[in-house]
């Protein structure tokens, strides 16, 4: 398998994808399902398997799970900023440095539990959004202007992307 496929098993995110009501619904469903989907992806893995890199030089499965929790904590904050402020600039963070922090050695269940709560709140928030809310702007200092709708597509992709890191590793390893 090509290195690019190991890094991006579902392909890279395209910010310029056509945003449709069907895609919005699919992304919301993907995000709603992510806590259960990710839990199933790691179900039955032992510590040695959890501490296996999904690709050479990549994060371990454990780090991926903790990263998804950190990322989705940040995402709900970003959505709420966009909902409550005019064209806010969001704060990026150094994901690679966060992945080296001591809390990334904790059992994955800690982050799976966080995801249950975050996603319940996130779904409650998303289900309250109006059409205008999905069009609200926000600014990422590195990638420029986004709408909430585009960020929704990004996090739908992000959910599938990291789950695929784990499931494709399991397939390759026969786990």
Give the DSSP letter string of the chain: --HHHHH-TT----TTPPP-HHHHHHHHHHHHHHHHHHHHHHTT--HHHHTSBSSTTS-BHHHHHHHHHHHHHHHHHHHHHHHHSSSPBPPP--HHHHTTSGGGGS-HHHHHHHHHHHHHHHHHHHHH--HHHHT-EEEETTTEEEEHHHHHHHHHHHHHHHHHHHHHHHHHHT-
Q: Is the confidence at residue 141, as pLDDT, over 70?
A: yes
Q: Please give the C-alpha separations between residue 11 and each of 5, 36, 40, in angstroms, as whole numbers.
A: 7, 22, 22
Q: Please give the C-alpha separations between residue 120 and each of 84, 126, 145, 168, in angstroms, as whole numbers.
A: 19, 10, 27, 27
- Structure token pair of residue 75: 């995402």
Q: Is the confidence at residue 3, as pLDDT, over 70?
A: no
Q: Is the confidence at residue 2, as pLDDT, over 80?
A: no
Task: Give the pLDDT mean for 149-161.
Answer: 97
Q: Is the confidence at residue 81, as pLDDT, over 90?
A: yes
What CATH code would you report for 63-175? 1.20.120.450
What does pLDDT average to over the chain?
Answer: 95
- Structure token pair of residue 78: 């970003």
The pLDDT tens digits of the residues spanning 31-77 come to 999 999 999 999 999 999 999 999 999 999 999 999 999 999 999 99
Question: Any idea which residue has 């992806």 for tokens?
Answer: 41
| Predicted pLDDT at 124 | 96
| Predicted pLDDT at 36 | 98
- Would you say the pTM of this structure is higher than 0.85? yes
- Structure token pair of residue 31: 């995000």
Q: Is the confidence at residue 119, as pLDDT, over 50?
A: yes
| Predicted pLDDT at 4 | 59
Q: Which residues pair with 137 in a beta bridge?
A: 147
């Amino acid at each position: 398998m090509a290195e690019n496929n190991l890094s991006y098993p579902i392909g890279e995110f395209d910010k310029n994808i056509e945003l449709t009501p069907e895609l919005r619904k699919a992304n919301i469903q993907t995000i709603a399902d992510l806590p259960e989907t990710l839990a199933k992806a790691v179900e039955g893995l032992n510590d040695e398997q959890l501490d296996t890199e999904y690709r050479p030089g990549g994060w371990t499965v454990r780090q991926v799970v903790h990263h998804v929790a950190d990322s989705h904590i940040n995402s709900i904050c970003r959505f709420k900023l966009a909902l409550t402020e005019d064209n806010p600039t969001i704060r990026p963070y150094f994901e690679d440095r966060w992945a080296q922090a001591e809390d990334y050695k904790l059992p994955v269940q800690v982050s799976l539990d966080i995801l249950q709560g975050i996603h319940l709140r996130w779904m409650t928030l998303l289900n309250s959004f109006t059409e205008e809310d999905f069009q609200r702007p926000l600014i990422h200092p590195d990638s420029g202007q986004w709408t909430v709708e585009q960020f929704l597509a990004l996090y739908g992709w992000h959910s599938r992307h990291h789950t695929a890191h784990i499931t494709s590793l399991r397939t390759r390893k026969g786990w």
